[in-house]
Every structure is written in C-alpha cells, then in structure tokens.
Structure 1
Amino acid sequence: MSTAHPRYERAVRRAQADGRIPALSVALLRTDRDPWVLTVGDSGDPRRPLGPASRFRIGSVTKTFTAVLVMQARDDGLLDLDQPVSRHLDVPAHGDATIRRLLSHTAGYQREPHGDVWDTLIAPDAGRLLAELDRAERVLPNARRYHYSNLGLAVLGQLVAKLRGGTWAEILAERILGPLGLEHTTVDRPDEAVVGYLVDAYSDAARPEPPVDLGGVAPAAQLWSTASDMAAWAAFLTDPRPGNKVLDPATLDEMRWPLTTTDESLWAAGFGLGLILQPEGGRVVHVGHDGAMPGFLAAVYGRRGGEGNPGGLGCAVLGSSGTAGQTNELVHELLRLAVETDPAEIQPWRVAAPAPAAYRSVLGRWWSEGSEFVFAWHDGRLQARAAEAPADRPPATFRPLPDNQDILRTASGREVGELLRLTRDESGAVVRMHWATYRFTRRQEGFDGGLASDGPG
C-alpha cells in the first residue's frame, strides 16, 4: 500500500464526520497505481451494507454524458454546434438557441422546465417537455452570460434521441456505458441504491428523501452510479486513452476549452461544452461536474497538467446527504493529495532519433517582433517557444501539410491553427520563416529589415 493512502483515508473520514454524511463512497483512479476505493458510513438499508458496489444518484454529473452524446453526433455529421435547436426539434418557442449555447449554459433558458417540479416531484415526459417550451422563460438574452439550466441540457438529450432514433437512455447505454464498461451506471434506481437523506441542521436526525424520476429531464440529472465507475468517467473526460471508441481526444479537448466564466467577479471556475473547469494554479485544471438530487451530492473530476500528474487521474466522491458541501470540496482535495503525496515516477530521458534532415536547419534561436524564440525537435515534432516563456508553458507544436513539408500547421500552443512557412536558400537551408505571417530571422531585425545592432539608419 502506498504511504499516501492513509492521507486519503483521513481526508475522507474527516469529510464524512464533519459533513455528517450518512454514506460516503470515494474512488481515485490513475494510470500508474491500483484503483483506490473507500466507503464510510451506512447505506440506510440493513439488507445491503455499504460497500464499493453501493449506488448513489449522481445528479447533474449526468449532463457530462449528454454533452458527450451531443459531441458524438456532431463528429458523425448529424448536427452543427452553431445550428439552432429548431433545425432538429419542432419546438414552440426558444428554438433559436444554438446547441453550443445550450451546452455552455449561455442560451438564457430558465433553470427548470415549466411548472413547480421540485414541489410536485413530477417531471414532464419528453413529449411534454418540448411541447411546453413556450411556457418556459428566456430569462436572459442569448449569449449574454452564464445561467445554469437543467432545461437546456434536457432539450439537448431529446435532440440526440431524435437524431439517433431511440430514447436517450438507449443511446446512452449503446454509445457510452457499454463501450466504456460502466456497467454499474444506470438510469433506473438499482437494488444496490443507498438511501438519500436530508440531515437535520440542529440535531443528528436525518429524514429519507423521496425518490424522484425525472422523465423527460433525465438527460440533465437522472443517473445512478458507483464511485469507481465515476472515477473512470472522470479519467476519460480528462485524459482519454488512445484508441477509445467513444470520442476523439481532440473533441474532448474542444469540450474542455472554457467558453464562459461562472462568476464574472471571481473567475474561479469556467464552463466549456458541458464541463466545469476549475483552475488550480500552475497550469493545472480540474475537469468534471458536480451533481445534486434530493438526498444526494456528487463530485466527479479529473486533473489535467501539473508536476507529478501520472495521467488518467480521476476522482469521484458520492454522498447520501443533500446538504454536505464537504462532498464537493473533498474531490479537489484528493486530486491535489494524489500528486503532492504520491507523485508519478520521473521517467528517465533517453536518446531518440534526430530531427528529419528537412528541419534540422530550423532548430535553434530565431527572432520576431524584436523577441527571441527557440525552435527544437522533441517527441517527434517541431516545437517552438518564446525564449522568456515560463518553463511550465507548453510549447507550440507543428505538423507539415501532407503535400508540402515547407508549410506546417500549428497543432497546439501559441498561434494554434496558423501556418508556419519556411524559406530556404540555394543549399536547402531554412533562412527565413513566417509564422502567422510574422517574419522570423536569425538576427534581431526591425520591421523594416534593419538590424537592431546597427542603430539608427
């Protein structure tokens, strides 16, 4: 057992005690260690003691599954993110909201479907959800700002169902749960379900909360799962393994790009395409989602970047209290502990093949706009970085166009998407470059081509 595990266990037990959470289930997954799972408390059902197989409602973590289904449909050519939903759904109002805006909660839809769902505990079915969209408000103009909406993600779930020709639940099982082996994640309440509670604020009493079936709102918050399944899902959202058959890693990169902040004054969290993005400093971000349903809270996140990160690092914290904020805080604490107390092993540097002959004359120092840049060949790619850039800032990387090795596309980092054009002399050596149309030369030149060292012309 790793010496870090006692630190994990103490953090979990402290959160359960301080938060007064009847049942708490936690899983931590990473590529270089065995999975770590701990349960603390009582399931509330004497027939089924609390254990790793116990199931909890994960609430709005469900939205991340719906978001992936939407992106699968986009990648398959079934939709465009900037199309209005009315292109695919016959809705009586608010059909101009685009799919991208609904995914990022910037479409202005009211939070819940029409009616007092959380009073009656009766949700509309899929047909009524869409038919009554004209009875829901557009509380903000499209693209004005972030406003969280269960209604928006529910509409997207029904959109995917129509495009695929099945129910949302059927498509979810076929296209995500099955391929990823998330066999303990279900739409319906399973036999292994723990009891969810409202814990009294002024005593140690707790009241079981009623079960709620969300009907047509299911794509926003319906699922049940285990901590182990959810840690695996967090790892997938953060660092999918090559060759996975669920979603292209480049599409997940797109989902993780922040489209809005969730608070204009703090900038402490952002939202991408269905994913919450929490910056941790030092170019580290936690990616995932929180969830809440009557009697349950869930937090499911993975960690990207930072020293000591082994990759594929995901954590899930599932609790059977609807009010214990410690559930949401613990997931971030455990992800930090994982790299601080048990960092990944440092891999030795090894000699590799030299840069291709066509690019060897590119390597070294260049100047542009009066600033110095360093071009290098590492990990099988041409790379570039400003000479004064912080060490933790990733370099730009390039890939040549298929039909011209002297024109390269910026694949990541600074000026991503822009072209790098190489100019060679008679011997074939690269003597000048243009990156995003800015000239790069071996000596420090002004925009008029004069050398800085020559002084005034």
Structure 2
Amino acid sequence: MPALSAALYRADRDPWTFTVGDSGNEAHPLDDDSRFRIGSVTKTFTAVLVLQARDDGLLDLDDPISAHLDVPAHGTATIRRLLSHTAGFQREPHGDVWDTLIAPGDRQLLDDLARAERVLPNSRRFHYSNLGLAVLGQLVAALRGGTWDSVLRERILDPLGLSATTVEPTADAAVGYLVDAYSDTARPEPQLELGGASPAAQIWSTAGDMARWAAFLTSPDIIDPGAQVLAPASLDEMRWPLTTTDETLWSGGFGLGLILVPQGKRVVHVGHDGAMPGFLAGVYGRRGGEGNPGALGAAVLGSSGTAGEINDLVHELLRIAVEEDPAEIQPWKPGPAAPPEYRSILGPWWSEGMQFVFAWHDGALQARGAEAPVDRPPAIFRPLPENPDLLRTLSGREAGELLRLTRDEDGAVVRMHWATYRFTRIQETFDNIPVSYGPDV
C-alpha cells in the first residue's frame, strides 16, 4: 500500500488517527488531512438523503421511482428495493464506463434506463447496483430542486461539520495506484469523474471525517443530538437487515443503503466498503457489545486498488478498541419508582406456558422472557396518549403490537393481552384451566 490513513472515533476518547506511507502528492505529503476516494461509502450519504426526504414527506419508500422521476423504463422499481439492492437493476450505468472512463451526465443516466436491464425480477434476491443508487441520488436532487452534491453539502456535510469531505479532489488529495502483483511497481490510476453516477461513488474524504460519519450511522443520538440530519428512529430503520448478500453464508446483510456485518454476541458493524481505481476504503461503526462506549466508528483508507486487507482492518480496529480499551463502567444509580397505575404489573406473568418478567427501568415498562439470554434486549412499552391501559411495544419482542391491561374493581392489573396472547399470574391452559401448584402436582 503506498499510503494508508486510519482513524477511530469514540464518544469517550479523543479522536485517534494514524498515517503511514507516501501520498504521491509532492505538494502535500501524507498527513491526517490527506484526501482519499471513498468509493461506494458515498452510497451511505445518498441513502441518508433519501430517508431525510421520506421524513420530510417528499416520498414514501414504497413509491415507484416513476412517481418522482421522468424515466423511460424500470419506473416500477421501488425506492426501498433500490436502497437494499433488491430491485434487480444491472450493476452499472449503460455503456462501457470502465473502458471509456466517460460517465453519463445527470439526465443521460436516466435516459439510458431505456437501454439498461433488470437482470433479476424485483425482490428476487440481492444484486449490488451502482446504477440503482445513482438513480436515487438523482431522485433526491429533483425533489430538493438542486444538484445531488449541493443537497449533500447543505443537508449532511455542513450540519455534521464534515469539512474535509468533498465531491471533487482537493490539493491535498493522495494519488491512487495499481500495485503490480509480481513486482514493487505502483502505477498511478486515472481518476474517473462519475457525473450522473456520482451519488454511488464520487466522494473524497479523510479517515477522521469518515470515522465520525461511521459513529453517526451507529449512534446519531450522540453525534447529532438535535437530529438536524436524521432522527435516530430513521437510522434504526436503515440498520434493519432487509436481505442477506449470500443465500448460504449469512455473514453479511443489507439494510437501507447500509452493509451489516455481524460479529457475534449481538454485535454488528454498520457501514460500507468502497473501491475506485487506485483506492479502497472501509468505514464502519460498532453497535452493541461489552466495552462499547457508543458513537464508536472507524475508517481505513488506502491508496491501493488491490489491497483487500484494508477492508478487514477496519473491523479489527473496532474490535481492538473495545477489547483493549473498554469504556468505563457507569455505576448504577437508583431511579424513580414505577407510576402507581403500573405497579401491579411488575413481576412474573405466564403466557403460552412460558414465564415472562415485567419490570420498570429507565422510565418505561419492559418485559423479557424469564429464560431469555441476558444480552437480549427487552421489549419496551409506551402508553397510548388517549388510553393508559393500552401500551404500544416500541422495540424488542412483538415490536409494534399492543399490550392491553385488564384491571379488577380496585384498579389492580389482573390480566393482560400482548399481541392478543393472554398473560396471567399463574400458568393456564389455552382454555383457562389453571395449573395446580399444591401437593397433588
């Protein structure tokens, strides 16, 4: 690798950066400010712009693209399917872009859909498509009345302070190389300007900016507490796996524009890899796991188009960060008691022959299976404003379903129904026959 730049961002430490090698830029030797192409990591920015537009009421994720763009073909592809690479679009824009090194312009990219293929039926399986994300970038630009790069700057880069992230290379850009497989020769690669396909892979950045971006993708509540860029709930939605990338090896998946790489023990790395001629990038944040301080992101950027170790190293950095320097354990502090109207719920209940425990923690009613692993998140409930005896499941088991409370004449909860399943204080059969706990059992 002629040049390598790495960075780690975490909520409880000063940012860490490291560079080694030669930028190939005589006017700007390699340092923390050296810019590298991040390739398809660009897609994560475009995906966030799409979710912003959804949250602003400009689109629905299940809309066909033809509802918002004038396209000559494939207008039935939905926004959600394009984000998750399950719309069946061919991988690249029409033509031999990687031979000619000439990319279509914004309008030409859309007009050329008439000559592009749907290589797979809609929703059949995962098929990675630069074309699909490029079309979504054009959609966002049309909805906002600007260009993709202007919308990117206004709605993401400026609010998050990612000042070293640009669409065009700057004077401090590193040179990207093809490293010869059988000698020490490294040859500079030409730099393709992607034009209408820019929303898929055009951005240049530093490792420091990208580590912060990765931390945002995992912990927006810490990086963007005012939700200027995107609500935490919308990023939760983006991180939910919609497809696996291999039907037999379930070692990676895709959400809405985000790659999901499970690490075991309820830990997942969220982000994206990137590749452009002469450059590779890995940008991921870490969700869950012991020692994780939150807002933990890493980036590894390299000026070699063939050094695949770059994409492995970013995951290793995240692992090392929590194993060798875990976050300080925060001491438990007593909190307020459950509100009087919910105190009779607390404790064990039975349903379908299994025991569940309901408790009040962190200001909310929670429930978990009595034998559930300790690292499995509980279900969390919130009362409906118009009826405190109906609670919506916000997360965990049966997310979205209602919990309905039944009280006796004294106001104590004596029965509950969660997702319509009956919950009682002792075990009962489905036809209401209680289990005896006396000496005749």
TM range (shorter): over 0.9
Alignment of 1:201-280 (within 5 A): 201-240=181-220, 241=222, 242-280=225-263
C-alpha displacement at 1:453, in angstroms? 2.2
C-alpha displacement at 1:78, in angstroms? 0.5
Describe the superposition over 1:244-290 as per-residue Cα deviations: whole angstroms up to 9, x where unpaired. Answer: 30000000000000000001110100000000000000000000000
Alignment of 1:292-303 (within 5 A): 292-303=275-286
C-alpha displacement at 1:211, in angstroms? 1.1
**1:60 alignment partner AA:** S
- CA–CA separation in structure 2 for the residues paired with 1:352 and 1:165: 49
Aligned to 1:69, what secondary structure does the other structure show?
helix
Q: 2:9 is matched with which residue: 25, 29, 44?
A: 29
Q: How well do the aligned residues superpose, as a CA RMSD in angstroms? A: 1.2
- CA–CA separation in structure 1 for the residues paired with 2:142 and 2:190: 31
Describe the superposition over 1:290-330 as per-residue Cα deviations: whole angstroms up to 9, x where unpaired. Answer: 00000000000000001110000000000000010110000
- CA–CA separation in structure 2 for the residues paired with 1:377 and 1:442: 17
Paired position in structure 2 for 1:8: none
**1:425 alignment partner AA:** D
Paired position in structure 2 for 1:342: 325
C-alpha displacement at 1:352, in angstroms? 1.1
Paired position in structure 2 for 1:97: 77
Q: In the alignment, does 2:150 pair up with 1:170?
A: yes
Runs of 4 or more, structure 1, over 3 Å off, are: none
Q: In the alignment, does 2:33 pair up with 1:53?
A: yes
Paired position in structure 2 for 1:179: 159
Aligned pairs, how many?
437
In structure 1, list runs of 5 or more residues that go unmatched.
1-20
Alignment of 1:309-328 (within 5 A): 309-328=292-311
Q: In the alignment, does 2:337 pair up with 1:357?
A: no
Paired position in structure 2 for 1:419: 402
CA contact (8 A) 2:280 2:310 kept: yes
Paired position in structure 2 for 1:11: none
- CA–CA separation in structure 1 for the residues paired with 2:71 and 2:26: 47
Describe the superposition over 1:103-141 as per-residue Cα deviations: whole angstroms up to 9, x where unpaired. Answer: 000000000011000001000001110011111111000
Q: 1:193 is matched with which residue: 150, 169, 173?
A: 173
**1:144 alignment partner AA:** R
Q: 1:284 is matched with which residue: 246, 267, 287?
A: 267
- CA–CA separation in structure 2 for the residues paired with 1:238 and 1:454: 48
- CA–CA separation in structure 2 for the residues paired with 1:283 and 1:237: 17
Q: 1:377 is matched with which residue: 360, 371, 374?
A: 360
Aligned to 2:132, what secondary structure does the other structure show?
helix
- CA–CA separation in structure 2 for the residues paired with 1:109 and 1:149: 6
C-alpha displacement at 1:45, in angstroms? 1.4
- CA–CA separation in structure 1 for the residues paired with 2:168 and 2:375: 45
- CA–CA separation in structure 1 for the residues paired with 2:124 and 2:435: 47
Paired position in structure 2 for 1:133: 113
C-alpha displacement at 1:403, in angstroms? 1.4
**2:153 alignment partner AA:** A
Aligned to 1:307, what secondary structure does the other structure show?
coil
Moved more, 92-101 or 235-244: 235-244
TM-score by length of structure 1 reads: 0.95
Paired position in structure 2 for 1:437: 420
Aligned to 2:249, what secondary structure does the other structure show?
coil
CA contact (8 A) 2:25 2:172 kept: no
**2:142 alignment partner AA:** K
- CA–CA separation in structure 2 for the residues paired with 1:154 and 1:317: 24
Aligned to 1:266, what secondary structure does the other structure show?
coil
- CA–CA separation in structure 2 for the residues paired with 1:188 and 1:38: 23
- CA–CA separation in structure 1 for the residues paired with 2:213 and 2:427: 49
Q: In the alignment, does 2:131 pair up with 1:151?
A: yes
C-alpha displacement at 1:189, in angstroms? 1.1
CA contact (8 A) 2:126 2:243 kept: yes
C-alpha displacement at 1:427, in angstroms? 1.0
Paired position in structure 2 for 1:450: 433
C-alpha displacement at 1:454, in angstroms? 7.2
- CA–CA separation in structure 2 for the residues paired with 1:244 and 1:191: 33
Moved more, 234-243 or 366-375: 234-243
**2:344 alignment partner AA:** S
Aligned to 1:453, what secondary structure does the other structure show?
coil
- CA–CA separation in structure 1 for the residues paired with 2:429 and 2:268: 39
Describe the superposition over 1:379-416 as per-residue Cα deviations: whole angstroms up to 9, x where unpaired. Answer: 11100000010000000000000111111000110000
Paired position in structure 1 for 2:65: 85
TM-score by length of structure 2 reads: 0.98
Aligned to 1:452, what secondary structure does the other structure show?
coil
Q: 2:141 is matched with which residue: 149, 161, 164?
A: 161
Paired position in structure 1 for 2:392: 409
Aligned to 2:436, what secondary structure does the other structure show?
helix
**1:177 alignment partner AA:** L
Q: 2:383 is matched with which residue: 400, 405, 408?
A: 400
Q: 1:121 is matched with which residue: 97, 101, 104?
A: 101
